Structure 1
Amino acid sequence: MSHGQAATVADAETDTNTDTDASGVRAALSGLTTRGRSFLAAGVAAAICAYVLGQSDLLRVGLLLAVLPFVCVAVLYRTRHRVTGSRRLTPSRVPAGAEARVHLRMDNVSRLPTGLLMLQDRVPYVLGPRPRFVLDRMEAGGRREVSYRVRSDLRGRYPLGPLQLRLNDPFGMCELTRSFGAFDTLTVIPRTEPLPPVRLLGDASGHGDGRLRSLALAGDDDVIPRTYRYGDDLRRVHWRSTARHGELMVRREEQPQRARCTVLLDTRNLAYEGSGPDSAFEWAVSGAASTLVHILERGFAVRVLTDTGQSVPGEGVNGFTASAQESAQSAGLMMDMLAVVEQSDGEGLTAAHDVLRGGSEGLLVAFFGDLDTEQTALAGRMRQRAGAAVAFVLDSENWATGGTVTAAVDQRVRALREVGWTALAVPPGASLPALWQQAGQQRAETGGGTAGTGTWS
């Protein structure tokens, strides 16, 4: 950069700082209260009268009245940047209808005490009224802590912030507002219900027959070795690989194959009627959340799949959770997805069918909205690759009125049962645990298909 360019940049930075300072001063002066403006006007008027009448004592009074608001502005403007604020949200993820607590802390890091402080945090309307607090005079180095509760019956992600602080000087001459840029996010996940143990697929632990995961190499190297770790049995040292790599290598342990489960959620807008926390779509979302939590607790590899073909968490093989140790993290990812899932504009289940067609056998639990003849046939073909398939078919047409299940829904359920599904119609306001128990009984009566008959306990 040339000298001329450097000078230009320096001048630009100086102008920017000057503009920032000028805007800050203008903002501070705009914070004068009615009392402060009255004192300023009275001081100017007294100074003019003193000049006209030649009264020096009146001039001193006028100067005092005029200068006092400016002194308050200067002190308060400096204090505004010496007060820090922070927010702590516990917990950051709550089920719909549960409460979370927000903790606010203000610290005065200046050497001067503050005046009256008015604290306000910005929250979405759905979480409740906007919290406001009045804090007493804060001494130098002092701290104040307050808290409030938020609650939502609607799942979603809600921003909290920015935190706004309003400061007043002791004389009431000036009032300034400061906004803190920090935001927090409250995630409201769907409600979940504990489900009873039923016989559907796999054994109690969620594992199939153990098998050695190996790839054939050359000669008798029929396993892929790994680096020796402290505590490994020396009898498992693979000497040929050790000689090749120059460090101790051991054979991998036999690893059990985890049973898999896909939770399919139909999000098509045309498949549901109504909205709100008691709508059919929200029941389906809550049912999917309850199912994935129940199955994850039993050691299954799980994924959530929507009609759009989107798979969550999307890690591991074919989108399933990678390992039992990652179940908690995977559950969080899937719950976060269900917290914000919206109804799609899709008209069919083709994308989900394509994903399931390329997968391996396992348990399939589906939550369907209204199905026509074509989509019922497509859902029936999803059963071909599943070891067991359970479908909950919602009758959203009568959901708002609370009527009984219509004949059309019963017909769709029978069609799914004929191709091997364990299918149940979901009447308005039905209990998922009761339906889950009913699904286990229905599967036991039909012989359980091709899947195992272990119990989830």
Structure 2
Amino acid sequence: MAVPPGQDPADDPGGADGGDAAGARAALSGLTTRGRSFLAAGVAAAVCAYVLGQSDLLRVGLLLSVLPLVAVVVLHRTRYRVSASRRLSPQRVPAGSEARVHLRMDNVSRLPTGLLMLQDHVPYVLGPRPRFVLDRVEAGGRREVSYRVRSDLRGRYPLGPLQLRLSDPFGMCELTRSFSAFDTLTVVPRTEPLPPVRLTGESPGHGEGRQRSLALSGDDDVIPRTYRHGDDLRRVHWRSTARYGELMVRREEQPQRPRCTVLLDTRSIAYAGVGPGSAFEWAVSGAASVLLHILERGFSVRLLTDTGAAVPAIGADDASGADSADLAGLLLDTLAVVDHSAGEGFTAALGALRGTGEGLLIAFLGDLDERSAAEVARLRPRNGTAVALVLDSSDWADESARDGLVAARLRQLREAGWTAVAVPQGGSLPAVWQQADGQRSDSFGAAFGAWS
């Protein structure tokens, strides 16, 4: 938050209203309880002095009445120009971690300020509202303070506006002005490191099969191009050079990155319970962990929900050229605000995946009925691997167990070629990851291979 001097009401808390009637009324409304008590006592003493004919009491009453009014006038006519800035460190934090907010106040006027009180507005989930008292700030002076915020709930939380309260030395009057700028703290899901595995799910044109095909085919299958200044002469393709009559070089192999889609089931009917320890929050955290893990392994990743929404958008240009850090930030920001959907099935997700039937698909699923399980079964890539982590919400919500029903759904997915694993209440994602490897089917073994 940066507020240039002279462009915000808080820049002139003592006289931003220019002394007009509205400003005077605002100043009078800033009388504190002490100031109002002095004014009331002075008026009462003056009335009693008039009735009783006591001139000394009248002077006391006038003094009590005039003191808060003088404080109002002085505070209202004194002009201060104060600028403020706010800095978050960091701006994106995992749930349960702390961030520090740094506030800086600059007195850009030629007059020293009086006693200042700063108050920043923060959502209640981030902690108590921070308040700071600053002593006299000299002309051109600067004060810096900081406070910490923490949330166990993911989301995007606004910070601000920053309020500045100015009071007179006697505490008779207080004027409050607010800066207009806001900042946003993003609380992303917690992530866990996962054991490294050999994931495939590559698209055609990548991996050992592609390289072996090129090796067996020989140089005749190489597509040459015209020599360019700076090309390595060791890449000159002499057969093509003789054929075309100009210097030709072999193209460098540009294999496509393997693809992975992480499907997150957000249906509200699929999860029971709320809060940081709920099944849905475990699924969101698990999806974030898998996305980061696979992105680090060099995959081109997408996040897909049951509503058909994808990040990056399915059908867009391949995101393999995007910076991994930027893509990871985009995925985490999306998961920070993902919420339950009102859907009942996976028809939209099936439509979004149509035409991209290759690569690796990892799904985090809630409760499945027979129809939704059949829809999930059809999501399996034609030329890839599908892994389903199924959360039994009755187990997570301490309700009656439905082991038979969950086992039937897992069997239904396995028969369709999925590797399906049930996630117990409070299960560790690395442990579930290893369990999936231990229970993998033959197709899953071909995709995951041995642990590295």
Q: What range is the shorter-chain TM-score in? A: 0.7 to 0.9
Aligned to 1:436: 433
Q: Distance in 1 between matches of 2:261 and 2:75?
A: 60
**1:328 alignment partner, SS class:** helix
Gaps of 5+ in 1: 1-16, 213-221, 238-249
Contact 1:263–1:364 under 8 Å retained in 2: yes
Q: Deviations over 1:418-457 (max 9, x none)?
A: 11111101111111101111212323xx323595556685
Q: Deviations over 1:114-169 (max 9, x none)?
A: 22222111111111111112222222222211111111111111111111111111
Q: Distance in 2 between matches of 1:387 and 1:327?
A: 23
Matched AA of 2:165: R
Q: Distance in 1 between matches of 2:92 and 2:265?
A: 24
What are the equivalent positions in structure 2 for 1:50-449 lying under 5 Å apart? Answer: 69=68, 72-77=71-76, 81-201=80-200, 208=207, 253-314=252-313, 318-319=315-316, 322-323=319-320, 325-401=322-398, 406-443=403-440, 446-448=441-443
Q: Deviations over 1:381-404 (max 9, x none)?
A: 111435000000110012122886
Contact 2:80–2:111 under 8 Å retained in 1: no
Aligned to 2:12: none
Contact 2:68–2:172 under 8 Å retained in 1: yes
Matched AA of 2:443: G
**2:104 alignment partner, SS class:** strand
CA shift in 2, pair 1:225/1:139, >3 Å: farther
1:94 CA displacement: 0.6
**2:303 alignment partner, SS class:** strand
1:76 CA displacement: 2.9
Q: Distance in 2 between matches of 1:381 and 1:224?
A: 38
Across the aligned residues of Structure 1 and Structure 2, the Cα RMSD in angstroms comes to 4.1
Matched AA of 1:289: A
1:198 CA displacement: 2.4
**2:326 alignment partner, SS class:** helix
1:289 CA displacement: 0.5
Q: Distance in 2 between matches of 1:291 and 1:80?
A: 56
Gaps of 5+ in 2: 1-15, 212-220, 237-248
Q: Distance in 1 between matches of 2:19 and 2:266?
A: 50
Percent identity reads: 74
Contact 1:122–1:161 under 8 Å retained in 2: yes
Q: Distance in 1 between matches of 2:228 and 2:132?
A: 57
**1:379 alignment partner, SS class:** helix
Q: Distance in 2 between matches of 1:269 and 1:386?
A: 31
